[in-house]
Amino acid sequence: MLFNRERAETVMTRHGLDALVAASPDNVLYATDYECVTHWLNKGFQLYSLFSPGHDPAASLIAPSLELDAIVDGDVWVDDIYLFSPFPRGPAQTDAMDEVGRGAKALSERAHHVGRALDGLVDSIEARGLTAGRIGIDESGISPLFWWELQQRLPNVDIVYANAIWWEVRMVKTPDEIERLVRASAITEIAIREAFRGIKPGITEREVINAYQASVTAQGGRTTFCILGSGSRTAQPHALASDKVIEAGDLIRYDIGCTYDRYHADNARAVVLGTPSGEQSRIWQAMAQGIDDAIGLMRPGADVRDVYRAAMAPGQALGLENFERFHCGHGIGVSVYDPPVVTLADPEASAFLMPAVDGGLEAGMAFSIEVGYYIQGVMGFLCEDTVVVTETGVRHLTSNSKSLDFDAFIA
């Protein structure tokens, strides 16, 4: 199960919550193991789950009847189901149905049927006698109109904004989550090595990206992003795919990711198709050393600010001009950017709006640690590794070579 129930109960107690509602695709998936295709495709679609450990049932899922079969066919652990928006099927005799069909029919017969998703959420709250309770509601997945209606229908509920609370729960990964992260990271590294073996002068960036994406798919992953640039295009942090021809002597930089069972990978390297210059070697060594030094500090109780300082120190010692970064890493999980953020600043007051880490790192936290440097219109570097914090240090999920030499990287 993805859901870290024990941690959720601890966090809820600290915030004084009777129930916790998920509304975004990431949070509903995490809370229930339910992957709703419509929820991912339609950004305005409303779908909820509710967790209230002091009640029986402890959890409810409010889902569209269109995806009744997906609930049965998936790994959903929640039994209390509210189905909204009727979606009729053609009649069939039970003995003619396949196993999923029979399960879906049984689920439909025992489920609560409501008109809209919000009706199901309100009903699940009322069924638990929480009409005057304190409930954390994930504002990131609820439109202003539905938020207003929820307040009107439950005027005595003490509603707490809860997206940051969900992030707080998600900071520490379960064993199931970690295994998905391990597999996602392995897929990306195998795929980029396979793609790089085909690089030679005259190939285009797009051809390399296509080879990477094909390998990810062949391994059972889903491509999410492949940022790849060569020559001066490495200076573009988020370079768009292009038909630029890769030439001998080019610096090549990648920043790649994929998902495996909805869990993400995110890692980066740079190589030179030829002999690296002295400047390239010095800059890259500072990036790679910063990653290694930062990861070397990571263990339970470590302060993210110390991790940040260690990541930045080699580049600063080199005297790189305008070498400044808001962060040197981020959590990773069901989102590419999960908390915590490795920064000196207050992430709650930043563009990330993520909760800060009080008390240091914890075993089970997963991070992508990254350091990069970009010289406008000339060249750019990014080194990024993924690790999971253990009781004694870290488990490395990234193993690709940090050599700037192309042949050494491939070998």
CATH 3.90.230.10 occupies which residues in the chain?
175-410
Query: Most distant CA pair in the chain: distance in Å?
Result: 75
**Cβ contact 187:218 at 8 Å:** no
Q: Are 394 and 387 in contact (CB under 8 A)?
A: yes
pLDDT recorded at residue 23: 96
- Answer whether 398's CB lies under 8 Å from 386's CB: yes
| pLDDT for 164 | 92
Secondary structure of residue 34 in the 3-state scheme: coil
* Mean pLDDT across 328-346: 93
Region of 5 please: left (phi>0), alpha (psi -120 to 50) or beta: alpha
Which among 184, 287, 200, 197 is positioned nearest to 245, based on CA atoms?
Answer: 200
* Pairing outcome for strands 134-137 and 158-161: parallel
The residues of the chain that CATH labels 3.40.350.10 are: 5-170
Nearest to 346 by CA among 164, 92, 179: 164
Residues 260-267, mean pLDDT to the nearest whole number: 96
As a CATH number, domain 175-410 is 3.90.230.10
3-state secondary structure (DSSP) of residue 48: strand
Q: For the domain made up of 5-170, give the CATH fold.
A: Creatine Amidinohydrolase; Chain A, domain 1 (3.40.350)
pTM: 0.94
pLDDT, averaged across the chain: 95
* Local confidence band at 61 (pLDDT 50, 70, 90 cut-offs): very high
- Give the integer Cα–Cα distance in Å for 128 and 108: 21
Q: Dig out the tokens for 4 from the structure.
A: 């870290």
* Percent of the chain predicted with pLDDT > 90: 90
Per-residue confidence (pLDDT) for residue 365, from 0 to 100: 97
pLDDT above 70: percentage of residues in the chain: 100
Lowest-confidence region among 27-41, 119-133, 149-163, 195-209: 27-41
